Structure 1
Amino acid sequence: MSQELIILPGGADELAKSSIEQFAEPASRYVKKGREGADATSRAYAGDWKRFTAFCVEFGRQPLPADVVTVAAFVTYLAEEGKKVATVQRHLASINKYHYLQNLPSPTPAQQLKDLLKGILREKGSRQKQADAFPLQEFKRVVRSIDTSKPKGLRDRALLLLGFAGAFRRQELSNLDLDDLQFTAGELIVQLKRSKTNQTGEAEEKAIFYSPDMETCPLRTLQQWVDYLRGQGQETGPVFRSFRLGGRGSHTLTQRRLHPTAINKIVQAWLGETYSAHSLRASFVTVAKLNGAEDSEVMNQTKHKTPAMIRRYTRLDNVTQHNAGKKLGL
């Protein structure tokens, strides 16, 4: 083989270099997006990091990179302030995340911090407050009581029924667009663009079915709400929108997407302060399991990845609800 055949022509090295470098900026953007995680989680991390940096400023410590002594003092401060164990753990995760984003070694894996957290767990207990599940009959009673002759009432009933029947997270309900709904003769297929466990936008669906009771049928109620939106000229955009309060108690539909916080307030307004938007999801799992649903069936709707998460979500604390004492045959 001749020498000329293996030597790059003049300027080829520079050409190859410029061709490769054109991918540096988008690659950096993709890496940043991959590291950030879910929007809601990122917001929680940002709040936790702000608290940690304020602590460091107060005591003259360096937040980034932080040392074990500083983090241990901060964790102790949180515990002494009466913060829940889950809150302390989340702050540690936030500190770890910010070090990771900056390619810095994180102090959080240190054995001293593990021992400290273990001691806090033993003293305070690790039981995490979870969203309550509501009794099905109470939920149906509340849903039937909503006046759907008014658009706001129709929206609220559709929101509650869809949230429960589809085991939706409040962020998922907020993100729903009309284009995500596919009504068929037998069911409704809801396309999920993204969710807490699906940050890459993979195809994910939920199925909503007809109920024989017209007043508690999630599919018929949602169809009525969609028909109302289309009657207002809304063929695309958010499924659940806010209303603007007008004179004499009137409500005017807006273009604004319902914020997840607003969805939580709607749930509490109808079901009570002891519940939250997450109760819709927890109640789906609980009611389904009480009615004999298998974990795989529940996971197909909730999109949980493991049966362990289904067991965590199932609210069967009532000693009379789910008890082998009923199966003794006496």
Structure 2
Amino acid sequence: MASRSIDAWIVDEVPSPAPAAPLDSTATLSARLAPLAETARDYARAATSANTTRAYSADWRHYSAWTRRQNLPALPPDPQVLGLYIAACASGAAGPQPCSVSTIERRLSALMWNFAQRGQPMDRKDRHVATVLAGIRRTQGRPPEQKEAVLPEHLLAMIATLDLGDLRGLRDRAILLIGFAGGLRRSEIVGLDCRAEDGLAGGWIEFFDDGLLLTLRGKTGWREVEIGRGSSEATCPVTALETWLKFGRISVGPLFRRVVGGKVGPDRLTDRHVARLVKHTALAAGVRGDLSEGERERKFSGHSLRAGLASSAEVDERYVQKQLGHASAEMTRRYQRRRDRFRVNLTKAAGL
């Protein structure tokens, strides 16, 4: 068997226009160590979520294609080339239309990650990159377009559009209520398993007399989310989940699964189902009927459930922050679409 460097064994599945540089040109792997290298590669894949990995791979392909068209090297990382790239993205020269500031910043993060994975890290604060990015922010920056929050009255109207006489309706009601009450991301919803020993895709559930405890795999580690029982069975997320599991005959494995031909299958739902579900039911319920159908479709996504809890829960902000898993109160406030504005009038308090 031909010898290979340790780096090549671990990162050879990351898309790259050039091979990764080895840590030690003399380091080779024998057939005995090949399985261990595969294990290391599995752990490397698990370092980021599947969605993040897909996004970073797509951004790397975009950058690599642009550098090839310009006859510029993608590797080793060159701050001046990167500065030209983000300028092209901002102006529309790197695609069919100009990119937003948030898209450019995401692509920069993806490229920094890709460079680091190839053992060639680059300083994002280099003046050739930082100065161009500062100019883009100054000339093109605008407040981010936030998704509409699904408020409690919206949620009830959305659930009313479901057919609760079949398994799909029961499943989708549980998804909407659990996603809202838990302030969950769509990937967290579909990543749940029935038990801790079911594979740890993204977390598991435990039922208690007073409610439901979710143990979730977050970006920075594991966290717990408590979902209490509702004031009525019709709106209780715990009851909705118990009903879905009972009629779906689910006790192990993925919590939310595909329903095919009136039967529950073994396959876990993808997070795209949550986004489609929120959009479809919001449109069917006439939520934000003052907007055109196209605008309404753009306004709603899986994140609308998470924003809805943050905007609706009339409790101390720190409890909402903990439920959403935010590191700062400022991040939680970004999710609060409806606040009690002007409750404190500093103008009058100052004597005017």
Smaller-chain TM-score bracket:
0.7 to 0.9
Residues 187 and 107 (structure 1), Cα distance of their counterparts in 2 relative to 1, 3 Å cut:
closer
Q: The residue matched to 1:109 in structure 2 has which SS? A: coil
SS in 2 for 1:214: coil
Provide the secondary structure at the position in 2 that maps to 1:75: helix
Question: C-alpha displacement at 1:42, in angstroms?
Answer: 1.9
Going from structure 1 to structure 2, the CA distance change for 1:264 and 1:197 (only over 3 Å counts) comes to farther
Letter in 1 for 2:235: T
Work out which of the two has the higher radius of gyration on C-alpha atoms and give 1 or 2: 1
Cα separation, 1, equivalents of 2:168 and 2:324? 27
TM-score (norm 2): 0.75
Q: Structure 1 residues 252 and 326 mapped into 2: Cα distance closer, same or farther (>3 Å)?
A: farther
Q: Which amino acid aligns with 2:116?
A: Y
- Deviation string for 1:278-313 (max 9, x for gaps)? 11111111111xx1x222211221121221211222
Partner of 1:286: 311
Tell me, in whole angstroms, the C-alpha distance in 1 between the residues paired with 2:138 and 2:245.
51
Q: Is the CA contact (8 Å cut-off) linking 1:144 and 1:215 kept in structure 2? A: no
Name the SS for the 2:254 alignment partner: coil
**Percent identity between the two aligned chains:** 27
**Matched residues in 2 for 1:158 and 1:147: separation?**
13
Question: In the alignment, is residue 191 of structure 1 matched against residue 215 of structure 2?
Answer: yes
How far, CA to CA, are the matches of 2:227 and 2:277 in structure 1? 21
Q: Alignment length, in residue pairs?
A: 290
Query: Pairwise mapping of residues 181-220 of structure 1 onto structure 2 (< 5 A)?
Result: 181-192=205-216, 194-198=217-221, 202=222, 204-220=223-239
Residues 159-189 of structure 1 show CA distances to partners (whole Å, capped at 9, x for unaligned) of: 0000000011111111111112221211111
Task: Answer yes or no: is the 8 Å Cα contact 1:144–1:216 preserved in 2.
Answer: no
Q: Which runs of 5+ in 1 are unaligned?
A: 1-20
Partner of 1:295: 317
Matches within 5 A, 1:143-162: 143-162=159-178
- Whether the 8 Å CA contact 1:86–1:126 is kept in 2: the answer is no
Q: CA RMSD in A?
A: 2.7
Distance 2:157 2:276 in 1: 19
- 1:1-330 paired onto structure 2 within 5 Å: 29=40, 33=44, 36-81=47-92, 82-106=98-122, 108-179=124-195, 180-192=204-216, 194-198=217-221, 202=222, 204-230=223-249, 234-244=250-260, 246=261, 251-272=262-283, 273=297, 274-288=299-313, 291=314, 293-316=315-338, 321-324=340-343
- Deviations along 1:186-238, one digit per CA (max 9) or x if unpaired, are 1111222x12332xxx4x321111112221111111110111122xxx32111
Instruction: Name the CA distance, whole Å, in 2 between partners of 1:35 and 1:91.
Output: 21
Q: Are residues 126 and 33 of structure 1, via their aligned partners in 2, closer, same or farther at CA, if it must alter by over 3 Å?
A: farther
Q: How far did residue 78 of structure 1 move? A: 0.7
For the residues of structure 2 that align with 1:211 and 1:107, how far apart are their CA atoms?
50
Could you state the TM-score of these two structures normalised by the residue count of structure 1? 0.80
- Compare the two structures and name the one with the higher helix fraction: 1
